[in-house]
Amino acid sequence: MPTAPAGTLYRGREGMWSWVAHRVTGVLIFFFLLVHILDTALVRVSPEAYNAVIGTYQTPIMGLGEAGLVAAIVFHAFNGIRVVLVDFWAKGPKYQKAMLWVVVGLFVVTMAGFLPRHLMNVFGGGH
């Protein structure tokens, strides 16, 4: 029996690529979430254990990783609202493309608010 490879490129353009980006960011966030809950659980071990591990999050390299994580979350969140509107708003499917550009716009604005503050904390006068 012939099998088609799963998940091939089917339509391209905004609809498909936003769907791909939603999946990729979702998986990234999920694996971070697993690690994040486990590291936070160290508060139950001892203050020293928690501070030692969280200290490794406060290096410049991890700071850049956090910026990427926040970017993934912000896109996933705004595009998720777009998915809800496509599904439940009568005109959603008609405006799905326009809504993607609204998502991109909101993403840029949110990151413009977040990045300077975060990068100052990471690279600026901190410890």
Partner 1 sequence: MATTQSGSATPSPLAAPRSPYARRKTTRGNYELYSWVFMRASGVVLLVLVFGHLFVNLMVGEGVHAIDFAFVGGKWSSPFWQIWDLLMLWLAMIHGTNGVRTIINDYAQRDMTRGVLKSLLYLAFTIVVVLGTLVIFTFNPCPPGAPAELLPSICFPN
Residues that bind partner 1 (CB under 8 A): 3, 6-7, 23, 26-27, 29-30, 33-34, 37-38, 40-41, 43-44, 46-48, 50-51, 54, 57-58, 63, 66, 70, 73, 77, 80-81, 83-84, 87-88, 114, 117-118, 120-122, 126-127
Counting every residue written for the chain, the total comes to: 127
C-beta of 37: minimal distance to partner 1 in Å?
A: 5
Query: Residue 73 or residue 102: which is nearer to partner 1 going by CB?
Result: 73
C-beta of 98: minimal distance to partner 1 in Å?
A: 20
C-beta of 44: minimal distance to partner 1 in Å?
A: 5
Alpha-carbon torsion, ordered 106, 111, 116, 121, to 10 deg: 140
- What is the amino acid identity at position 52? A
Query: Residue 14 or residue 63: which is nearer to partner 1 going by CB?
Result: 63
CB 21 within 8 A of CB 75: yes
Query: Residue 21 or residue 73: which is nearer to partner 1 going by CB?
Result: 73
**CA gap 55, 49 in Å, rounded:** 10
Structure tokens at 43: 């508060």
Query: Residue 4 or residue 13: which is nearer to partner 1 going by CB?
Result: 4
Q: What distances in angstroms separate CA 99 from CA 11, 23, 74, 78, 92, one per listed residue?
A: 18, 18, 15, 10, 8
